[in-house]
Amino acid sequence: MTELPRIAVTMGDAAGIGPEVIVRALLDPECAGRSNCVVVGDAARLRRAAELVGLQPDIVTVTDVSECEFVPGRINVIDLGLIPEDLPFGALSPVAGDAAYHYVRVASELAMAHEVQAICTAPLNKEALHSGGHIFPGHTELLAKLTGTSEVSMMLATPRVRVIHVTTHIGLIDAVERIEPGLVERTIRRGHQALVDAGVSEPKIGVCGINPHAGEGGLFGRGEEEEKIAPGVKAAQADGIDVVGPLPADTLFFLAGRGDYDLVVAMYHDQGHGPVKILGLEAGVNITVGLPVIRTSVDHGTAFDIAGKGIADHRSMVEALRLAAEMAPTPSAV
């Protein structure tokens, strides 16, 4: 019998849709037989979410991964007991923000100790995280800090397009200032290695420009393409990586969408996120590339406007769990 990877699933912000999508995803037949999951969160909140979505799983509290029993209909929970019973859904809460931090912290500790082989995260709310005393732009930067990783990249994956970002959670002017050849090259290399690890033996990579038409030979912008991007692309090419650019972003995403490229390197947050989200949030998965552990996530937020109503779409969580299971090693291989 094939040994299944163990995945720590963090509950995210308890006031958002995370508890609902976790319960639905872990009971979805699509997730059956792919991995063994343990939720790091709050058992009472998950029971409440199960009631909201009309499901009746056996939600069992454990103190350690070794206590988990992976059988159909059972959800194992490492319960940190941080969420008050009367915490409302759909409202910003410092308590929920602090709890979301600790869920990720514990999951990271489990992963670094090889108790689990991957982490899959439900969404947290950045404002709640900050109000809870944890000043990080998001999961990507938080996980880098917790695992002692100096530099990571965000990759978004859909069935049609994969995108890795040179910069993410900073303003546009700051992003342009931060982009430089070394960072571009390292991002290309991280993306290339991630695809090779995922079974794409010779990935074809396209790199976006910053300006319209990738600067049109200096007509637009201030020469950023030639100064900041082209040298990084050439350095990766010299090492045998199949990468081209800088290319006009709009054209590149069209070509990638029809299958000409396995990966697009976006220069800043919205340049990469916009095209992916047009394809549908339910299909998107967020991957942190460069960590010493596998981490995937849903590609949507806490959705406070529908939290607690039992109507949240759980398909992105199913996809995130599927991808985590595919990328993770088996326990005996670690």
In the prediction, which pLDDT does 276 show? 86
- What CATH number matches the domain at 1-152+290-334, 3.40.50.2000, 3.90.1280.10, 3.40.718.10, 1.10.3720.10? 3.40.718.10
Hey, what are 216's tokens?
Answer: 């049109």
C-beta of residue 18 within 8 angstroms of C-beta of residue 52: no
Rounded CA-CA distance 109/151 in Å is 19
Q: What is the pLDDT of residues 247-260, one digit of tens each?
A: 999 999 999 999 99
Q: What are phi and psi of 47, to 5 degrees?
A: -65, -40
Give the CATH fold of the 159-279 domain: Isopropylmalate Dehydrogenase (3.40.718)
Query: Does this model's pTM top 0.85?
Result: yes
Q: Which residues of the chain have pLDDT under 50?
A: 1
Rounded CA-CA distance 12/49 in Å is 13
DSSP secondary structure, 107-168, as one string: HHHHHHTTS-SEEEE----HHHHHHTT---SSHHHHHHHHTT-S--EEEEE-SS-EEEES--
Sheet holding 118-121, edge to edge: 58-62, 74-79, 36-41, 6-10, 118-121, 294-298, 285-289, 153-157, 162-165, 263-266, 205-208, 243-247
Of 330, 262, 291, 316, the C-alpha closest to 116 is: 330
**Domain locations in the chain as residue ranges:** 1-152+290-334, 159-279
In the prediction, which pLDDT does 292 show? 92
Tokens 């489990």 locate to 110
